[in-house]
A and B are shown apart, each in its own frame.
Chain A
Amino acid sequence: MATSPAQAGNERVRDLADQASGGSQARLRRSSTGRGRRAVIGATAILVLAVIAGVSIGPVSVPLGVIADTLAAHLPWHPAVSVPPIDAAIIWQIRLPRVLLGALVGSMLAGGGAAYQGVFRNPLADPYLLGVAAGAGLGATAVIISGGGLGLLPVAAFGGGVAAVALTYSLGAGAGRRGEDAAPRGVAGTASILLAGIAVAALLTAAQTYLQQAHTQTLQSVYAWILGGLSNATWSQAWLIVPYVVISGLILLAHRRLLDVLRVGEAEAGALGVNVPRLRLIVVIAATLGVAAAVSVSGLIGFVGIIVPHLARLTAGASYRIVMPVSMIGGAAFLVLADIAARTVQPDTEVPIGVITAAIGAPFFLFVLRSRRARAETS
């Protein structure tokens, strides 16, 4: 989609992609795809278990039989079951949408993080890099302080996030074009886009902070949004973001091979016929739509977008053919699990989910990082 290289070029791209993922030889290729398949299957299994646990575990203990009956009651041609209405409401209207929304948001944050890391060839990139978070925060704050209906909140957050990235991109790419003489085209583009992202985020955050401090009576609502969470998840929120998740996910998955080519370098990928600026634009648009949709319903949940893609890399190798799907599935599982912790660490009350993602994610990540390095040193 991003490029239409000649058939021969296509072959070379594929070879290079294999080289980049560490196996130009057939034997290596086979073992790496086997490992990738195992990683995808493993992540999917964890996700399924996480969803089952997410529906079963909560501050209110509902017997498993009642949970099963509640779910059965929503199947077509369901058997006649009677469940206590309060328990049924807790499972079907509170817990299930929360679990599903967590999975959707987690997959978008992790997928978006992997995409940004790939397209900017920067391991520290996270989905908020180009200002989605700052723009969404400004949009949400504006709605909250103006007392606009809460129905507007996700729209404003989404619009703010997308507008911020559009601003970053147009400023950064424009600056890169002017600096073309001094540096190779692609390099200048990447650096100036990242710098523009930092500047735009700082500017929008300043505006958001100003608005928020000038309207102290709504501080609590603003902070609650910024801290993020899934505690108010509804079915309609889940349905609202499904189209974005599907479209964004499919586009990112379709470009994972080109992201592998990009790993060898922008100039090299360009020489192979990859239209790097166009690839970058498509991937950024897809990732931004997905991440902005996720942020619009869940607020700013940190750490998922950076930790999950790296976990995927550490366990399944560096090729985006595997990293992308494993990040999406793993991100979904990670956020569902983190949310279980958020609502059960202190039963009956809530812990901000961002605290959980960082508190669990950081040590776990360091553990995996260390054990991987230890294994690499001994082998």
Chain B
Amino acid sequence: MTQVMTRRLVAVALAAGLVAAACSSTATQPQSGSGSPGGPGHASASGTFPVSVTAANGTVHVSKRPTAIVSLSPTATEMLYAIGAGAQVKAVDSNSNYPAQAPRTKLSYFSPNVEEIAAERPDLVVVSNDSSNGPTLTKRLAAFSIPVLELPAPANLAGVYAEFAQLGQATGHQQQASTEVSTIRDQIRKILAAVPHRSKPLTYYYELDQNYYSVTSDTFIGRLLRLLGMKSIADSAQGASAAGGYPQLSAEFIVKANPDYIILADTICCHQTALTVAGRPGWSGMAAVKSKHLILLNDDIASRWGPRVVDLLRAVLAAIRGGR
């Protein structure tokens, strides 16, 4: 009995941590401003080594141009390929499923195994979350003289750009990183120009899983959608900010809020579709369900903050323009 209780308490703690971690938390926005192109470090030009990069886990020293990068972050994997460092990537974690040519292994981003990572003989390891573990991996891999670059979930687009810059510095692709950032900026500018003007923001319910975990407008994803003139119904939920911007809403609250759009970011993990949503108790009467204002996102794109944020914005834009 006590065993069951203990297990349950552990589960509570883990679930709480999970929500904070897996849903790209607002925590630890790194000293990202300092990572902007041409900013810190000793690297004045692309490809100068040794280099010191200021990242979320402190100053990271990379002694020579890395040629055996291990990425334990699906987002970082996408970024590495976007800035032309793909050829230097030796192994990526089991969840790094994009781009397809990334050398996927059984390495786990969730519970990294130092021995398995070291066995890849990497000269740079990129992770998305180490500081919250007190940076265990950074310290342990330091014993092998393997530098670890932490690129955590950012608070906003500026944070994304800063991470591109940090990754560019650390891999010797500073120039391509800044080109990629300007490309993304341009694409986003075009998307925003196409956003239909409205006097009142469109409201949305953003679904992380079918237990109604959602996001407020103050999260990374919420800020992206705010650019499109949209506002989360979770903003007015009590306790939403206490939940770090990722509250678990109640079904009653969602039905009563009756948002203009329902955005599903659980189409892959949890197989949610327009049909399953309409079949939920009490949901068939919601305006968004009746007018088919459902936006089905790819979970992976929706949970990463790499180059494909543009795709996410495009998908939402297409829906809100078509749905006029």
Contacts and interface: CB of A to CB of B under 8 A. Distances in A.
Interface string A290-305: 0000000000101100
Contacts of B227: none
B111 interface: yes
A220 B209 contact: yes
Interface residues of B, number: 52
Provide the main secondary structure of the chain A interface: helix
A89 B243 contact: no
B110 A216 contact: yes
Question: Which of A85, A216, A343 neighbours the largest number of chain B CB atoms within 10 Å of its CB?
Answer: A216
A90 interface: yes
B211 A150 contact: no
B19 to A, nearest CB: 7
A348 B240 CA distance: 9
Interface stretch (B34-42, B119-127, B167-175, B248-256): B248-256
Contact of A85 (B213, B270, B285): B285
B253 A59 contact: yes
A227 B1 CA distance: 16
B110 to A, nearest CB: 4
B240 A349 contact: yes
B42 to A, nearest CB: 37
- State the main secondary structure of chain B at its contact with A: loop
Given A90-B282, A223-B14, A232 B7 contact: no
A261 B237 CA distance: 54
Interface in B241-282: 242-243, 247-253, 255-256, 258, 269-271, 276, 280-282
Nearest to A347: B238
- Residue of A94, A198, A220 with most chain B CB atoms under a 10 A cut-off: A220
A212 to B, nearest CB: 10
Interface in B7-32: 7-8, 11-12, 14-15, 18-19, 22
Contacts of B187: none
A105 to B, nearest CB: 16
Contacts of B211: 220-221, 224, 229, 231-232, 350
22 contacts: A59-B253, A60-B252, A89-B281, A90-B252, A124-B1, A133-B4, A216-B95, A217-B95, A220-B18, A220-B211, A220-B213, A221-B269, A223-B18, A224-B209, A227-B12, A231-B211, A300-B4, A347-B239, A348-B238, A352-B12, A352-B15, A358-B8
Interface of B: 1, 3-5, 7-8, 11-12, 14-15, 18-19, 22, 95, 108-111, 208-213, 236-240, 242-243, 247-253, 255-256, 258, 269-271, 276, 280-286
